[in-house]
Structure 1
Amino acid sequence: MASELCKTISVARLEKHKNLFLNYRNLQHFPLELLKDEGLQYLERLYMKRNSLTTLPENLAQKLPNLVELYLHSNNIVVVPEAIGSLVKLQCLDLSDNALEIVCPEIGRLRALRHLRLANNQLQFLPPAVDLLLLLTDGQILVVGVEQKKYLTVDRNRLWCVPRHLCQLPSLNELSMAGNRLAFLPLDLGRSRELQYVYVDNNIHLKGLPSYLYNKVIGCSGCGAPIQVSEVKLLSFSSGQLTVFLPAEVKAIGTEKDHVLPLQELAMRSLHHTYHSFLKDLDFLSPISLPRSLLELLHCPLGHCHRCSEPMFTIVYPKLFPLRETPMAGLHQGRTTVSFVAYCCSTQCLQTFDLLS
């Protein structure tokens, strides 16, 4: 097997191959033949999936300087060396199905990187490096009118939070974080117009989505633990002539089943009702008493509840309905079925809303 491997690499070096397939070779170490002498200067795509590699060589960029795609799917890689950041031409890096617990910051130096796949590892968080590698390019290629899309896949890890910087990436088009331990998402995730696809399926602790995802393509199947809605007396507080009733969501605080809206969302909804109810009659709030940005948000919420039309500012509760037949769907890419995602303001509306209601 070793002689066959050496022969394959020697032929690739002699004939200046651009693609080299070393899948299913039972490799426990990175082949020294690849790093011999000047390495493989012409190689652009290296496929090494389904082996037993645990790490990568420090001189990888020096010996394979023109790598554009590196596929390391299904190995036992625990650590990626700092030298990975020197692969300046690398556009696709697949580290799915390995044993990574951290992502080295040097990945942030990969300016050309467009596809980063980290699914099926043991990551607990995404470092700023992942943000930087998507920020270090203007997202343009030499085709007029076409933008360079970027994709980040971190499915089936142990992520419990999402870096807020991901919300500000100008060229991130698709973000997939299915099968993690997410309990919440940054409130401005989806604010970028470029981000169109967000998949967070099977995060059982995730019960709400930011309102900025209102008109995006999302996947949220299997999210949110079921909650029993009990009859509770609404809490309220008063201040002068104003009485504010808190939503029924404020209940069972401190238990495993509590489901309380973010304080910012509660404040915005209360302020919205107060502003529109008292402005004309009592002059309770005048336009000049609020910051301009807040005033504009109050006039135009990010969305309204499909059940009760309650305005929503930072969070929504999605409900995915099964695919249904529709004559018009056949006009779009030959499909005959479409899905519908309803957005509600609370778990109570979520449970009572139906397409026929």
Structure 2
Amino acid sequence: MASELCKTISVARLEKHKNLFLNYRNLHHFPLELLKDEGLQHLERLYMKRNSLTTLPENLAQKLPNLVELYLHSNNIVVVPEEVGDLKELQTLDISTNRLLALPERLHLCLSLQYLTVDRNRLWCVPRHLCQLPSLNELSMAGNRLAFLPLDLGRSRELQYVYVDNNTHLKGLPSYLYNKVIGCSGCGVTIQVSEVKLLSFSSGQLTVFLPAEVKAIGTENDHVLPLQELAMRSLYHTYHRAPKDLNFLSPISLPRSLLELLHCPLGHCHRCSEPMFTFVYPKLFPLRETPMAGLHQGRTTVGFVAYCCSTQCLQTFDLLG
């Protein structure tokens, strides 16, 4: 079997194949032949479905730099290296039915990525940086353990299809998704005892749990933002409005974590697009009031949650407005 595999890869290298099929090969390790010398520079599509891979090589992007499609469905992969973010030509990534606990933060650097499928893994959260992917058109995360989604998910016009079916802990969807094609049946279950301590707010019989990053929840009687939130918003605007040639807030003058937060806020106000960092005003829209209600009515307890930057925006925001 090993000699047959080596022969297949050698022929692909010699004849400069663009497609390579390594499905059902009982592979426990990523084939070293694929990474030999300069790798397969001409390879565009790699199929490695239904093997037993547990890891991916960190130099994958270096050896296979022109990959457009990568299929890793049904393996035992636990971690995807951050260097997957170096695949600048990658348009399709299917890593469903594996054992992933998290997605790499640098995945948002795959600027050509259009289709991302991570169904049936063990994901608890989604990196906020994924909202920055400029070409992402379809995102499928069904059958995971997601409890919340990034506040900005769906803000991009390119993203049209989002599937989060069978995430039983998922209680709410960002209202940026309300006019997209959404799959969310099987989401939302009876409140678990362990979840009672989480931040939440209720509307009728529906309770929506908020991301852990949200430190406080605004109320109609609370018109003053925390000093930390005001400082972050002011710093954000100063940083982004400064002339490019002005050496203001260089990486040396700010901690890395703070600099990254300025580049990727917790979310943006659904009403005025003001960036938000530690404090939001949430507003719940039951699913039956949205254009997608006909597809999911009676099958899910998920509602849409709008996040606003102030009580004024909260009072004036409407999904249909």
- TM-score in terms of structure 1 length: 0.47
Superposed displacement of residue 352, structure 1? 26
Shift of 1:25: 2.0
Deviation at 1:281, TM superposition (A): 53
**Structure 2 partner of 1:164:** 128
List gaps (5 residues or longer) in structure 1.
Answer: 97-119, 137-149
Judged with a 3 Å threshold, the aligned counterparts in structure 2 of structure 1 residues 275 and 183 are, in CA distance, closer, same or farther, namely same
Deviation at 1:48, TM superposition (A): 2.4
Q: 1:151 to 1:82 in 2, by over 3 A?
A: closer
How far, CA to CA, are the matches of 1:86 and 1:299 in structure 2?
19
- The worse-fitting range, judged by mean Cα deviation, of 319-328 and 219-228 is 319-328
Which residue is equivalent to 1:39?
Answer: 39
Would the aligned equivalents of 2:47 and 2:70 in 1 still touch at CA under 8 Å? Answer: yes
**Aligned residues between the structures:** 321
2:172–2:302: 8 Å Cα contact kept in structure 1?
no
Give the match's secondary structure for 2:302: strand
Could you list the per-position Cα deviations for residues 179-207 of structure 1 after superposition, in whole angstroms to 9, with x for gaps in the alignment? 22333334443333333222222222333
1:50, 1:158 → 2: CA distance? 18
- Using the alignment, how far apart are the partners of 2:306 and 2:189 within structure 1? 18
What's the offset of the Cα at 1:298? 27
Give how far 1:85 is off: 4.8
Q: 2-side partners of 1:37 and 1:292: how far apart?
A: 36
Q: 1:265 to 1:159 in 2, by over 3 A?
A: farther
User: Structure 1 pair 347/51, CA: closer, same or farther in 2 (3 Å)?
Assistant: farther
Identity among equivalent pairs (%): 90
Structure 1 pair 269–129 and aligned structure 2 pair: CA distance change class (3 A):
closer
Give a deviation string over 1:85-124, Cα, whole Å, max 9, x none. Answer: 554444333333xxxxxxxxxxxxxxxxxxxxxxx33334
Q: CA deviation at 1:221?
A: 1.0
Match of 1:100?
none
Decide whether the 8 Å contact of 1:204 with 1:225 is kept in 2. yes
Listed one character per residue, the Cα deviations across residues 32-67 of structure 1 (whole Å, up to 9, x for unaligned) are 444445544433323222223333445544544443
Write out per-residue CA displacement over residues 294-331 of structure 1, whole angstroms, 9 at most, x where no aligned residue: 99999999999999999999999999999999999999
Match of 1:324, SS? helix
| Greater RCO structure (CA 8 Å; 6+ sep) | 2
Change (3 A) 1:312 1:297: same
Deviates more, 1:301-310 or 1:282-291: 282-291
Aligned Cα RMSD in Å? Answer: 12.7
TM-score by length of 2: 0.52
Which deviates the most, 178-187 or 280-289?
280-289
Change in 2 beyond 3 A, CA 1:211/1:269: farther
Secondary structure at the counterpart of residue 252 of structure 2: helix
Whole-Å Cα distance in 2 between the matches of residues 81 and 288 of structure 1? 27
Go from structure 1 to structure 2 and tell me whether the alpha carbon gap of 1:270 and 1:331 turns closer, same or farther (over 3 Å shift): same
State the 1:211 CA deviation: 3.0
Q: How does 1:244-255 map to 2 (within 5 A)?
A: none
Conservation of the 8 A alpha-carbon contact between 2:52 and 2:75: yes
CA shift in 2, pair 1:353/1:21, >3 Å: same
Distance change >3 Å, CA 218–CA 312, structure 1 → 2: farther
